[in-house]
């Protein structure tokens, strides 16, 4: 025979089980939608985690000392003493005192401009950076400030931090539950589709058995199909999610400076989204395999 003989053409083996029942394009769409939801849930988990880490990291690295008093002179005296105490304390650096002008600017949204006469005693703020070691033991500093500058109160932001971390943990738990439910729904859909596919291809499965196919061989065939399907559907869903997150990140960058934490996506998080199609592939192929083995085992 010559190489021009048409029968010697290299062939690509046709899948032994054709797409039938609920498998095929409709199932790819369903998997893509589930992958999109799983990606958004996963992204939400990481975005909240990152935002809280950034925010609490900023806050826990600083302390704020607020000085109040009955008169401007009292405030000025206590502010100077507090400033000196902070500068003299180990583990405290970058002590910065807000000027009266800066403070007035902070109050402007509530009190308007030029409404604060020089006789009004505006509280003063001093911020400082604190090392983790010092942050663990701020009681001595509090006592020193209380004795040297009675109008000063130290705020280490722990109350705000705790509330923020608590809210973030709840948000992460919700995202994780959603992600898990989507994976569970994917498994349920695959079980249904696999059973429907086996029922629709009953004659083919029977012929395969009669020519000597083992259940494992048939399960391999089905598993290969669902692996491809999971990769295709999962990839489409994750890609759509990545596009949405990218657009969202662009929008968030434009909103920088707002009081809310930045919930934008970063490239590393987008990398984690690759996990979604991989996980869906795993869920789809393993679920399909177990379903085939179970169904064929029941028929024997």
Residues of this chain that bind another protein (CB under 8 A): 1, 6-8, 11, 13-14, 16, 18, 203-204, 206-215, 217, 297, 300
Residue 117's φ and ψ, nearest 5 degrees, are -75, 165
Query: In the complex with another protein, which residue's Cβ is closer, 27 or 35?
Result: 27
Is-contact 43 273, C-beta < 8 A?
A: yes
Q: How many CA atoms lie within 13 A of 217 on its CB side?
A: 11
Query: In the complex with another protein, which residue's Cβ is closer, 25 or 214?
Result: 214
Query: In the complex with another protein, which residue's Cβ is closer, 17 or 276?
Result: 17
State the Cα–Cα distance between residues 236 and 144, nearest whole angstrom: 61
State the Cα–Cα distance between residues 83 and 88, nearest whole angstrom: 9
Query: In the complex with another protein, which residue's Cβ is closer, 157 or 209?
Result: 209
Q: How many CA atoms lie within 13 A of 259 on its CB side?
A: 0
The tokens describing 131, both together, are 């090392």
Query: In the complex with another protein, which residue's Cβ is closer, 165 or 204?
Result: 204
Is-contact 69 81, C-beta < 8 A?
A: no
Closest separation in Å from C-beta 288 to another protein: 18
C-alpha of 235 from chain center: 19
State the Cα–Cα distance between residues 223 and 274, nearest whole angstrom: 21
Query: In the complex with another protein, which residue's Cβ is closer, 1 or 159?
Result: 1
Residues forming a β-bridge with 128:
63
Is-contact 238 276, C-beta < 8 A?
A: yes
Closest separation in Å from C-beta 7 to another protein: 5
């Amino acid at each position: 025979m010559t190489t021009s003989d048409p029968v010697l053409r290299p062939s690509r083996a046709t899948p032994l089980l054709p797409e039938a029942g609920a498998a095929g394009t409709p199932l790819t769409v369903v998997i893509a939608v589930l992958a999109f939801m799983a990606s958004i849930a996963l992204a939400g988990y990481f975005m909240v985690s990152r935002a809280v880490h950034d925010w609490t990291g900023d806050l826990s690295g600083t302390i704020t000392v607020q000085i109040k008093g009955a008169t401007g002179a009292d405030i000025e005296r206590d502010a100077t003493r507090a400033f000196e105490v902070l500068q003299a304390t180990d583990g405290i650096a970058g002590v910065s005192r807000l000027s009266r002008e800066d403070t007035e600017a902070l109050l402007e949204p509530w009190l308007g401009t030029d409404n604060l006469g020089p006789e009004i005693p505006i509280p003063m703020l001093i911020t400082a950076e604190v090392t983790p070691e010092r942050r663990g033991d701020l009681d001595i500093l509090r006592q020193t400030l209380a004795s040297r500058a009675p109008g000063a109160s130290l705020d280490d932001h722990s109350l705000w931090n705790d509330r923020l971390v608590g809210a973030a943990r709840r948000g992460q738990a919700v995202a994780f539950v959603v992600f898990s439910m989507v994976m569970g729904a994917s498994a349920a859909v695959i079980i249904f589709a696999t059973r429907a596919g086996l029922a629709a291809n009953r004659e083919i499965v029977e012929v395969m058995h009669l020519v000597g196919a083992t259940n494992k061989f048939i399960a391999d065939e089905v598993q290969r199909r669902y692996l491809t399907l999971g990769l295709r559907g999962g990839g489409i869903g994750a890609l759509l999610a990545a596009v949405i997150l990218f657009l969202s990140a662009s929008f968030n960058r434009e909103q920088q400076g707002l009081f809310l934490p930045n919930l934008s996506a970063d490239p590393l998080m987008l990398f984690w989204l690759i996990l979604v199609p991989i996980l869906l592939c795993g869920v789809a192929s393993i679920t399909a395999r177990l379903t085939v083995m179970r169904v064929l085992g029941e028929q024997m």
